[in-house]
């Protein structure tokens, strides 16, 4: 990555403002139900603690819409982080102003402070310069480790970089390096697997990847629109009628570029969008009016798996079917296994795809699992992420 990292700067005794993504899911009792994002930030926090920095963490949690709202307080996060780090993590009652300045002034080298939810201020998402300046005034150095929010130019991701030196944290570096290398310098064959509900969510990703990959595999609900473009009937499947023309153009573009575009040739169809709906596997030419496609078929899954096994680089974004229901999870399972078994570099991004990979217990066999859903999509679209662009050049 051509950006400075925490290894490139002096940290001992310095007040370091670290933007982390601690936007963790909480249950009704306010208990953290999944701390993956917190664990992902630990290497950077520990590096700073061990290097004798005074660590000031900033994050958002949920959508409090610029209002103080106790149900979005980071208090449970501070408590859990204390346990993960094995040291006390204080919580400042506000991310700017007197509560923040007072808490920072008592910080010793190697100590960690968490600022209260930055989105309790409407100025955060508006990237208000005065608010950003106040945040930045707490520290001498800014570290961005929140890949998951790097696609947003907010005060705590972009605004602060106008006031103090800004470098990438270890998680940010890892995300940008793995995905950047895969897109810019892929070992070939380079295979992308795109799935999920809708074409419209991922047009930009498909268009960008068509410029780069050798094989593009399309499954999931979005494949229906491509099947329709190929002239098949898709019954009452999820279909984006207004995107059929675009799907035709993408099929042509793939041909013109010499990219092998793989669509399902058989599918699992059901009578209803229900876990126990009667279902059968049919050739894509045999879908009946009353049926909906809820998964790729076994023949397609094997065919996709064969392509994946030859790949030196794999990017996977989007499940192959309605994997939340066991009856329609087999396609996604087969692809998860194939990606896990692939000897090349394998990268999985997208909230639901990552959940599928975790559910199928193959997460640790992937080279890289992206922590940022929206951010990884924008990265795959080839967009410049403002939170990354704002960091100092190496």
With CB atoms as reference, the residue minimizing the distance to ligand ADP is 196
Binding residue (CB under 6 A) for ligand ADP from 5, 51, 159, 221: 221
State the binding string over 326-365 for Mg ion (x if CB under 5 A, else -).
-------------------------xx-------------
Pattern of binders to ligand ADP over 352-371, x per CB under 6 A?
A: xx------------------
Measured distance CA(199)–CA(318) in Å, rounded:
11
Among 35, 109, 201, 358, binds ligand ADP (CB under 6 A): 201
> Is 198 marked active-site?
yes
| C-alpha separations of 27 from 33, 60, 193 in Å | 6, 17, 32
Contact status: 374 vs Mg ion (CB under 5 A)? no
CB of 238 to ligand ADP, least distance (A): 4
Distance separating the N- and C-terminal Cα atoms of the chain: 8
In terms of Cα–Cα distance, which of 227, 334, 336 is closest to 282?
227
In the complex with ligand ADP, which residue's Cβ is closer, 293 or 366?
293
How far apart are CB 318 and Mg ion at their closest, in Å? 8
* Residue pair 3/394 in contact by the 8 Å Cβ criterion: yes
CA distance 50 to 7: 13
- Whole-angstrom Cα distance, residue 68 to residue 244? 45
Could you give phi then psi for residue 154, rounded to 5 degrees? -105, 170
Q: Which of 318, 344, 386, 387 binds ligand ADP (CB under 6 A)?
A: 318
Q: Which is nearer to ligand ADP, 112 or 294 (CB)?
A: 294
Total residues in contact with ligand ADP, by rule CB under 6 A: 19
DSSP H or E run through 285: none
**Residue 240 CA: distances (Å) to CA of 55, 155, 246, 312:** 48, 36, 10, 33
Among Mg ion, ligand ADP, none, partner that 100 touches (CB below 5 to 8 angstroms by kind): none
Region class of 260: left (phi > 0), else alpha (psi between -120 and 50), else beta: beta
Pairing of strands 345-349, 313-317: parallel
381 contacts ligand ADP (rule: CB under 6 A): no
Binding residue for ligand ADP (CB under 6 A) from 350, 372, 386, 387? 350
Residues 32-71 touching ligand ADP, rule: CB under 6 A, are none
Helices 351-359 and 330-341 meet at what angle, rounded to 10? 80
Active-site residue among 359, 374, 382, 383? 374
Helix axes 36-50, 170-184, angle to 10 degrees: 120
Q: Distance of alpha carbon 298 from its chain centroid, rounded?
A: 28
376 SS3 class: helix
- Position 91 contacts ligand ADP (CB under 6 A): no
Q: Please tell me the distance from the alpha carbon of residue 221 to that of residue 227, in angstroms, as a whole number.
A: 10
Smallest gap from Cβ 380 to ligand ADP, in A, equals: 10
Contacts (Cβ under 8 Å, ≥6 apart) of 59: 19, 20, 21, 22, 23, 74, 77, 114, 115, 117, 118, 146
Is 293 a residue that touches ligand ADP (CB under 6 A)?
yes
Element housing 332 (H / E): helix 330-341
Residue 148 near which of Mg ion, ligand ADP, none (CB within 5-8 Å, type-dependent): none
Element at 75 (helix H, strand E): helix 75-85
The reply to whether 374 belongs to the active site is yes
Q: Report, in Å, the least distance between residue 33 CB and ligand ADP.
A: 17
351 binds ligand ADP (CB under 6 A): yes
Q: How far is the CB of 350 from Mg ion (least distance, A)?
A: 6
Using CB under 6 A as the binding rule, whether residue 197 contacts ligand ADP is answered as: yes
What minimum distance in Å lies between the beta carbon of 332 and ligand ADP? 8
Interacting partner of 238 out of Mg ion, ligand ADP, none (Cβ under 5 to 8 A depending on kind): ligand ADP
Q: Yes or no: say if 269 and 292 are a contact pair by the CB < 8 Å rule.
A: yes
Q: State yes or no: residue 321 binds ligand ADP (CB under 6 A).
A: yes
Give catalytic residue positions.
37, 198, 351, 374
Residues making contact with Mg ion (CB under 5 A)? 351-352
Residues making contact with ligand ADP (CB under 6 A)? 196-197, 201, 220-221, 238, 293-294, 317-319, 321-322, 324, 350-353, 373
């Amino acid at each position: 990555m051509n950006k400075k990292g925490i290894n490139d700067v002096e940290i001992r005794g310095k007040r370091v403002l670290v933007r982390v993504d601690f936007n963790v899911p909480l249950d009704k009792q306010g208990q953290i139900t999944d701390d993956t994002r917190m664990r992902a930030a630990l290497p950077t926090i520990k590096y700073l603690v061990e290097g004798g920095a005074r660590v000031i963490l900033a994050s958002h949690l949920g959508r409090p819409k610029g209002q103080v709202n106790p149900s979005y307080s980071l208090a449970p996060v501070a408590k859990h982080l204390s346990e993960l780090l094995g040291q006390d993590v204080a919580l400042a009652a506000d991310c700017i102003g007197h509560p923040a300045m007072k808490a920072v002034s008592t910080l010793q080298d190697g100590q960690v402070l968490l600022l209260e939810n930055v989105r309790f201020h409407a100025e955060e998402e508006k990237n208000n310069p005065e608010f950003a300046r106040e945040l930045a005034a707490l520290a001498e150095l800014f570290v961005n480790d929140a890949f998951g929010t790097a696609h947003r130019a907010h005060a705590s991701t972009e605004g602060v970089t106008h006031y103090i030196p800004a470098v990438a944290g270890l998680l940010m570096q890892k995300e940008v390096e793995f995905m950047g290398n895969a897109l810019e310098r892929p070992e070939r064959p380079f295979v992308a697997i795109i799935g999920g509900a809708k074409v419209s969510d991922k047009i930009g990703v498909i268009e960008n990847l068509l410029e780069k990959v050798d094989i593009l595999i399309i499954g999931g609900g979005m494949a229906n629109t491509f099947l329709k473009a190929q002239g098949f009937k898709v019954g009452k499947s999820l279909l984006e009628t207004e995107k059929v023309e675009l799907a035709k153009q993408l099929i042509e573009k793939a041909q013109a570029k010499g990219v092998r575009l793989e669509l399902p040739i058989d599918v699992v169809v059901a009578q209803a969008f229900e876990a126990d709906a009667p279902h059968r596997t049919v050739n894509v030419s045999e879908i009946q009016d009353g049926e909906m496609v809820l998964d790729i078929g076994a023949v397609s899954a094997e065919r996709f798996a064969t392509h994946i096994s030859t790949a030196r680089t794999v990017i996977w974004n989007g499940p192959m079917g309605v994997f939340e229901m066991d009856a329609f999870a087999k396609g996604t399972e087969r692809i998860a296994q194939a990606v896990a078994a692939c000897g090349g570099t394998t990268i999985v991004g997208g909230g639901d795809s990552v959940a599928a990979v975790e559910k199928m217990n193959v997460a640790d066999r992937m080279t890289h699992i992206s922590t940022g859903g929206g951010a990884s999509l924008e990265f795959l679209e080839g967009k410049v992420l403002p939170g990354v662009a704002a960091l100092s050049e190496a």
